Structure 1
């Protein structure tokens, strides 16, 4: 089960590109974030997407969320509620958030809202108006503060990764069990990826790691 969350303005390409890439079927859903300012072109775009989706299956849930572009904080909260509502109403669904298209104010609000729920979102995408291609992006996740040891492990993986956890432990002169525990925290915060390498695990950093390490870097 998939639920798409995307801004929608006058151009339907940003939303339709999601359907082309990932498909859509009964039980899936689309949440379109739009300005509450009535506009015939925006209404036409919503109708176009709705009619196209209905031809695929009438059981696909379609929801329009109207946002007040004059209330930025309200837009952020509304976007958060749209994501949280999906997590609550359709547990286990893969949420795909499109960070492109629609009014700029809504796009910025959705991006900020997505940062707060990045670990629970299956995929982020962005549709280029230049290349007309949909790309998958790895949105940095701003985690809660890390302890010094966790930061040291993260920095080591950034410097030497992909690397085994045993090598991390050896370089930092800590036990392998401690290194594994720190890596488990970093993995849960989506700062690193882990892959099997024989009987051991190999760690590599995700884009969020560079953001976190930059924030925590001492002047």
Structure 2
């Protein structure tokens, strides 16, 4: 099962786009994060989304939904509610920053970084086109690199963006087990992606390429 967590704004087009573009099934859940304070536009948005969900129901897609009201001026409080919602879920969690209050978007972004292992996907909406855009789930310690990490990224950069375990072992003079562990750690940080097995071969990601170009001060 899936649970989609939305930041519900005044324009529901991003929500509709996300729901219609995903292979949802009856019983999947929707959570709409909204400010505690109501106005005419927010009430209208909720009415519109409920009408849309009723339409889906007539077509055989029964989605459960609920609202999570938060204090938009208390990001720490939003994070507490959001963390609990994500950690308590037994379903695949999708974060959908489709619009709405900026403080909620900030909280969703922090949650996606800190709880990346619990998040299946994170999407936002391109303001100029209205298209749904997938956001990479980066680990919070992505920039914590020691000298060996930086040397491996540099080796990859100097080798056309590709590096192997034997090459790292030879160039850095470290045991094979250490080279293997280090390469897989960089892979977990989304700085490398494995493209071969015999020998284990890794390619720089765009973020890895960027970090490899930085000089350590």
Give the deviation of 1:97 after TM superposition: 1.5
SS at match of 1:122: strand
Give the deviation of 1:68 after TM superposition: 0.1
Tell me if the contact between 1:6 and 1:97 (Cα under 8 Å) persists in the aligned partners. Answer: yes
2:23 and 2:11 map into 1 onto residues whose CA distance is 19
1:114 and 1:16 map into 2 onto residues whose CA distance is 22
Asked whether 1:123 is paired with 2:115, we answer: no
Unaligned runs of 5+ in 1: none
Tell me if the contact between 1:77 and 1:113 (Cα under 8 Å) persists in the aligned partners. Answer: no
TM-score by length of 1: 0.80
1:181 alignment counterpart: 181
RMSD of aligned Cα (Å): 2.8
Tell me if the contact between 2:35 and 2:69 (Cα under 8 Å) persists in the aligned partners. Answer: yes
Q: Aligned pair count?
A: 212
Tell me if the contact between 2:9 and 2:98 (Cα under 8 Å) persists in the aligned partners. Answer: no
Indicate the structure (1 or 2) with the bigger Cα radius of gyration.
2
Give the deviation of 1:2 after TM superposition: 2.4
Asked whether 1:141 is paired with 2:144, we answer: no
2:108 alignment counterpart: 110
Give the deviation of 1:137 after TM superposition: 2.2
Tell me if the contact between 2:192 and 2:202 (Cα under 8 Å) persists in the aligned partners. Answer: yes
1:48 alignment counterpart: 48
Tell me if the contact between 2:157 and 2:204 (Cα under 8 Å) persists in the aligned partners. Answer: yes
1:117 and 1:46 map into 2 onto residues whose CA distance is 28
Give the deviation of 1:53 after TM superposition: 2.9
Asked whether 1:62 is paired with 2:62, we answer: no
CA offsets 1:174-217 (integer angstroms, 9 cap, x no match): 2333211112223334443223x263333234466478779x96
1:5 alignment counterpart: 5
TM-score by length of 2: 0.81
1:76 alignment counterpart: 79
1:36 and 1:50 map into 2 onto residues whose CA distance is 18
